[in-house]
Amino acid sequence: MRFTGLFPALVTAAALTALLSGCQQEEAAPAAELPKVGVVTLQTQAFTLTSELPGRTTAYRIAEVRPQVNGIILKRLFAEGREVKAGQQLYQIDPSIYEATLKSAQASLQSSKSLADRYKLLVDEQAVSRQEFDEAQAKRLQAEAVVQSAQINLRYTKVLAPISGRIGRSAITEGALVSSGQSNAMAVIQQLDPIYVDVTQSSVEMLKLRRELASGQLQKASENAARVKLILEDGSEYAESGQLEFAEVSVDEGTGSVTLRAVFPNPNQHLLPGMFVHAQLQAGVNSEAILAPQQGVTRNMKGQPTALVVNQDNKVELRELKADRTIGDQWLINDGLHSGDRLITEGLQFIKPGDEVSVSEASNVKVANPSPDTANTSAQGE
């Protein structure tokens, strides 16, 4: 009977001992390690906003050379594809007929002048009537006009360059018959220095830019507001800077765009009419821009840009953003992120909003403020 009562007591003691031992082991287990993330601390910075717009080059001035009189071409006096000066003779039209016409007109003028001079002496003596004298004077003036017209036609047999520039190929050869007012040009001269660049900008972008300037969100880029840079077809940057000349006063109904014209120096004539280029226009300065690395910006199911940041309690927060456009490998943020926010760019796949995290500086992002002279934007409206 004594052994029977002792056995349950021993079992109970052993169970208590095992329970206490398990509790001690649980207390000794290490706590779960917090997920590690890399962050970039955002700061406001001054940023010159530029817009890259497609366009084409256009000659500064274009002159189509056409004959003013009829005749046969005797000579071509220029080299195709070369520079010509204003007033330089380009063609010689056969002047024979116009020389004869001028001599005939000069003879008629001499006769009319002699008669008018004689009548002038006779009218004072009342030997001829005043009406006869007036008619003689009128014939003299008519003869002078005929001489002047003949001289002009003779001068037009020398076809001169109306402007300075580079002349293209000749559309006619020696021996060809040309006529005054013909539709086909004999040659075309284009002034290439300076040269125009016509670009198109969306009317929506133009209205947005004006609204931002009016609200103070953007400041005018002062004397550089009209400065334009040019990117050529091969991706290289044109050495000369241009100036914005004007913006078209109407919107193209078909494309919804506005044409802007810039003028560029072209001393070496590297730019030729018809080339496709991209113009970078300096629109304004955002003195408090927030630029977020693209590694820290993702999109939700609705396609809206979002970002994860670490708050003061080292917990993850989800932010919905308004990202206007890209600048290199960064997003220009309009709303959703502020100066001092710690944007997560590393470890995004291991966390979710509300998680407590361990924070360190991101190693996958090189933080550098874009140069106002080189920063470029591509329109990617949200």
Summarize the confidence of residues 49-54 as an average pLDDT: 80
Delimiting residues of CATH 2.40.30.170 domain(s) in the chain: 39-58+192-379
Q: Pull the structure tokens for residue 7.
A: 């056995």
pLDDT for 17 equals 54
Q: Which CATH architecture has domain 67-94+159-184?
A: Beta Barrel (2.40)
* Of the candidates 192, 185, 280, 186, the residue with the CA atom closest to the CA atom of residue 232: 280
Determine which of 161-170, 258-267, 306-315, 324-333 has the lowest per-residue pLDDT on average. 324-333
Delimiting residues of CATH 2.40.50.100 domain(s) in the chain: 67-94+159-184
Confidence of residue 209 (pLDDT cuts 50, 70, 90): low
Delimiting residues of CATH 1.10.287.470 domain(s) in the chain: 95-156
Summarize the confidence of residues 118-145 as an average pLDDT: 84
Question: Cα(18)–Cα(16) distance, rounded to whole angstroms?
Answer: 5
* Mean pLDDT (the chain, rounded): 82
Question: Cα(141)–Cα(324) distance, rounded to whole angstroms?
Answer: 75
Reply yes or no on whether the pLDDT at 29 is more than 60.
no
The CATH topology of domain 95-156 is Helix Hairpins (1.10.287)
Question: Is CATH 2.40.30.170 the right assignment for the domain spanning 39-58+192-379?
Answer: yes
Q: Of 71-80, 121-130, 278-287, 358-367, which has the strongest mean pLDDT?
A: 71-80
Please answer whether residues 298 and 318 qualify as being in contact, where contact means their C-beta atoms are separated by less than 8 angstroms.
no
Q: Indicate whether this model's pTM tops 0.75.
A: no
Q: Of 250-254, 334-338, 376-380, which has the strongest mean pLDDT?
A: 334-338
